[in-house]
């Protein structure tokens, strides 16, 4: 039984994969649909992989039915498992992430999960590559729902299935780096702690409505205190 659920985004919040996802998406799109560079300039920050694929297909004039989406998903997962091993720009963990997750893992009052736009299989591949998968017991992913706002309730229900107590929406904290992370927390009545390690600065994240904003997780003591603050005590 736990009193606080922390739901982490992955890209820009915990780590950067060095554009492994972009490379795998691009290779898959060209291989299956014959369209090169299909994801160039498609907005990705905070969006689900499902919506990103739909946007690329619409722009390219490619009709994708359920069978084609399934083929795309399978091949993308295969290619992502290759691409994650190659170097890329800024590839690595965000400052303080390892220490923060270690501290949280030792706190019996919290459980950590995921809310990410990544498809589930690439999310696991990515986190296993950086030795982070072991910290997360449940989550919701881009193949659970196309709209991010639907993901927090899915993650909470999965937490309940593994006997994690959720007494009220304020016991759920979403941690992310984009306004869409803030929005999905608000849609579920959860708190949001934003971190300015992605494409948005602290001012933009505060303006989006985050309850608290951190520059990064390098000060683990401050990060933990902020994540575990009550609704009335949030900075």
Phi, psi of 86 (to 5 degrees): -95, 155
Give residue 81's Cα distance to chain centre. 18
Q: What is the pLDDT of residues 88-134, one digit of tens each?
A: 999 999 999 999 999 999 999 899 999 999 999 999 999 999 999 99
Q: What is the pLDDT of residues 157-203, one digit of tens each?
A: 999 999 898 888 889 999 999 999 999 999 999 999 999 999 999 99
pTM above 0.85, yes or no: yes
Give residue 73's Cα distance to chain centre. 18
Instruction: Pull the structure tokens for residue 228.
Output: 């575990």
The residue assigned the tokens 């927390």 is: 185
Q: What is the pLDDT of residues 34-62, one digit of tens each?
A: 999 999 999 998 899 999 999 999 999 99
CATH of domain 4-16+91-233: 3.40.50.1000
Dist. CA 99–CA 125, nearest whole Å: 21
Dist. CA 220–CA 32, nearest whole Å: 44
Helix (H) or strand (E) holding 235: none
Dist. CA 109–CA 210, nearest whole Å: 23
């Amino acid at each position: 039984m736990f009193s606080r659920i922390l739901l982490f985004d992955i890209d820009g919040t915990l780590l950067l994969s060095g554009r492994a996802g972009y490379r795998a998406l691009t290779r898959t799109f060209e291989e299956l649909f014959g369209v090169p560079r299909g994801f160039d300039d498609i907005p990705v920050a905070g969006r689900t992989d499902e919506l990103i694929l739909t946007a690329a297909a619409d722009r390219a004039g490619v009709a994708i039915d359920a069978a084609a989406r399934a083929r795309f998903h399978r091949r993308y997962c295969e290619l992502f498992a290759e691409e994650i091993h190659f170097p890329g720009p800024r590839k690595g963990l965000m400052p303080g992430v390892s220490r923060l997750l270690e501290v949280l893992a030792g706190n019996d009052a919290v459980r950590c999960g995921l809310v990410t736009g990544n498809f589930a299989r690439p999310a696991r591949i990515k986190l296993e590559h950086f030795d982070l998968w072991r910290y997360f017991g449940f989550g919701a992913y881009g193949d659970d729902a196309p709209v991010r706002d639907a993901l927090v309730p899915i993650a909470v229900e999965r937490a309940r299935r593994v006997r994690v107590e959720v007494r009220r929406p304020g016991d759920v904290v979403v941690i992310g780096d984009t306004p869409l992370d803030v929005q999905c927390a608000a849609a579920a009545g959860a708190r949001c702690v934003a971190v300015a390690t992605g494409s948005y600065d602290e001012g933009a994240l505060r303006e989006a409505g985050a309850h608290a904003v951190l520059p990064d997780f390098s000060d683990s003591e401050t990060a933990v205190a902020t994540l575990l603050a009550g609704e009335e005590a949030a900075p």
